[in-house]
Amino acid sequence: MSKDEELELLRRQRMARLMNRLQTRKTEESKLREQNGKRIGRLLARKTKEERKAEYPKKILRRIMTDRAWEVLKAAESQYPEATCRLE
């Protein structure tokens, strides 16, 4: 089996797993709709990790930073705006 064929096989297997996961999720959603309309709203409103990270950067920093950390962050933002924007 050539390298291209192996890669194609791996790609197809991964696609099959993703499609299976999607189908399972759709099935679970339809079951929940039948059971309780309110619960499905919460399930669909659940946010991904990326969305949560993007939504609350300052809130996360508040938990982590102590003492002079905010002062240091503001100084860094004024000196290195491009680098510090990645923190948020």
pLDDT in tens, 35-68: 766 555 555 566 666 566 565 777 777 778 888 8
Q: How many CB atoms lie within 10 A of CB 65?
A: 14
Distance, in Å, from the CA atom of 47 to the CA atom of 22, rounded to the nearest integer, reads 16
Distance, in Å, from the CA atom of 64 to the CA atom of 58, rounded to the nearest integer, reads 10
Distance, in Å, from the CA atom of 32 to the CA atom of 28, rounded to the nearest integer, reads 6
Q: Please, are residues 43 and 32 in contact by the beta-carbon 8 Å criterion?
A: yes
Say whether pTM exceeds 0.75: no
pLDDT at 6: 92
In this predicted structure, the answer to whether residue 32 has a pLDDT above a threshold of 70 is yes
pLDDT tens-digit profile of 17-29? 999 999 998 888 8
